[in-house]
Every structure is written in C-alpha cells, then in structure tokens.
Amino acid sequence: MTWSEWSIKLQKKTETFLTWRKRRHLVKKEKQKRKNPVLDWADAIISAVFIVLLINQFLLQAYMIPSQSMVPTLKISDRIFVNKLIYGPELLPGLFKINSPREPRRGEVIIFENPSYIPMGPVKDILQRVIYMITLSLVDIDRDEYGRPKHHFLIKRAVATAGDRIRMNKGEVEIMLPGQNYWHTETEIKELYNLQYTRRRIFSPEQYVYFEKAGEALALLDAGLTLANDQKNAVNRYFYITNSTAGPSSWSQKELIDNASVQESRYAALYALKPYSRLFREQWSILERGWYIPEGRIFPMGDNRDDSRDARFFGPVRLEKVLGRALFKYWPLSRLGIIR
C-alpha cells in the first residue's frame, strides 16, 4: 500500500471518529437538557459521597483527636489523616480486613479498635463509621449518655512489638528485646532505633511513693480492712498530686484504679494478703515482671504517659485490630505537619 493510500485511509478513519464523537456529545447534551436539575444535583452529591467514602475506607481517613493522651504529638481537636492502606484495609467498615505484609513498626503512631469498646450492634456500628467517614470526622453518632464520644478507636504509639517484654518503673518504660536478658530504658530504645518522638511526663519519680502507698490502701479497702492514718494521708496526697476532686468516699473508684502504678502496688498487696489467689498472683506478676508481646500483637501507649489509658490497662492489641498509621495533621492550620 502506497503512502497516498495510507493517508486516505487514515483520513477516513479520523473523519469517522470525529463524527461519532460529535454525535455522542450532542446526544449527551440533549439528555442533560431534559434532566431534572434536582436529580442532577442529587446525582453529583451521591457521586461525591461515594468517592469520599471509598477514599476514607481504603486510602486516607480523617480522624479527630478526642483526648490529651498523645500530647505533645497530638492535641485535643487536632484533625489528622490516617493511611488505611499500609496495614491492609477493611472491605467493609468494621468487617473483612485484608492482611498486609507490612506490620506496624516500633515508634509508629497507629489507630486501632478500642479493646474496651462496647459495640452498639453491627448495623449501628457500620452506620456510625460510614457517617464519620463521609463527614471527615465532623459527625460522630456514637456517644455515651452524657453526649461524649465513646472512643471506638484509639490513637497511640507502638512502643513494643512481638517478642519484646515491657514494664513500667516509676512511670518510665523499660523494654527487654528478644533474645536479651536485660532491660533498656526508653531513651536507649529510641537511640537504638533512631526514633524522634517526644514523651510527656506529669509526675516526678519521687511522687510515685504516694502512688504505691495509695495502691496498698486500695488493697486494704478491697479486703475490708481499716486504713491507718498514714495510709489515709498517702491517699489524700495522691489525690492532691493528681489534682483529683475525689475524696475518701470514692477511694476505691475509677481515679485510683486507672493509675498503672497504683494497680501494681494494689495487686502486690492483695497477693501478699491472699497468696493462694491465682488472679492476684497473675496480675501482680504481669505488672512486676512486665508484659510479654506474643506474635500477632503490639503494645501501644500514649505519649502523655501519666494521662493515657492504653495497653497498660487492656494488654497487647491484635494486629488485625490495627486500622492504619497516622500521617499528618491538617487542622488547625497552625499545627499542619507530618506526624512522627
């Protein structure tokens, strides 16, 4: 075939394509004219919602920080984006998580399902997550009787990984790495793994004396015994240090129980009172000798160490419950930046 014949053939095909394209454009334009404006807007909104939902479910999801447990890294009301793809996304909100070869690493800020969370039911849980995603975390229908968010998800830092043993020493983290028989301070671990995050401590090591005394007093109350004056003074000092408004009538309630050092001292005293109790022995052993992190689990903690309810209270978290890694803060604009 000569060049002239090739040119003629190409010209005909081009003309055919352009004619088809013009006809298609005219048909589409006529349909657009006949379309109801309300339906047109509804179609555009539904398409936008669907795209936002897909992005939030599989790629990036917006979250709002509800507490100060991650101060100074994250503050209350910070809005962040989380990488949902890195550890394997869920096919549906809360269901059918896809396994990923990439597991959370030490030092990463992760979001995971709260092990202490009491679900509303499968339909309401899915609805809550869909609404939360399509509104970019502006609307959360999962609230308690006081109107506060119920913390379905938690954002903490992965401090210990599989094979580690971790314990607290007067509020400071100590980690025994796999294959070793000695403890590293968290500062040493940060240097060893080149981690750059900052921790916040509220209490000094000297103040932990009163925490230990408060735990002993709580154990005596649990056992139905009467406190001596010095033990009552220690509990009052504990409440003073923690700026608590609680008084003697609520010594055995949440504000004492929610302190890890108080718990350790409490179970040590309970075990001494009742050495035959398997529960007290096991709880004391975990707090005294540290938690062992088995395969398939991770130990997340808040950077605000003295004001964070984390794995110290509910234990190592299963990797399939980890939903993503925190990437960057996008609001307020004054705090815009990468999360490290």
CA atoms within 13 A on the CB side of 85: 6
Q: What is the dihedral of CA 117, 119, 120, 123, to 10 degrees?
A: 140
Q: String of b and e for 2-29 (b: at least 16 CB within 10 Å)?
A: eeeeeeeeeeeeeeeeeeeeeeeeeeee
Residue 251 has pLDDT above 50, yes or no: no
Please give the Cα distance from 329 to 82 (Å, whole number).
Answer: 9
Distances (CA, A) of 37 to 31, 33, 156, 207: 12, 9, 47, 68
pTM above 0.75, yes or no: yes
Average pLDDT of the residues of the chain? 82
Residue 90 has pLDDT above 90, yes or no: no
Fill in the amino acid letter for 192.
L
208-250 tens-digit pLDDT: 888 888 888 888 888 888 888 888 887 777 777 776 544 444 4
Residue 173 has pLDDT above 90, yes or no: yes
Please give the Cα distance from 338 to 193 (Å, whole number).
Answer: 19
Instruction: Check residues 116 and 256 and name the one with the higher pLDDT.
Output: 116
Residue 336 has pLDDT above 50, yes or no: yes
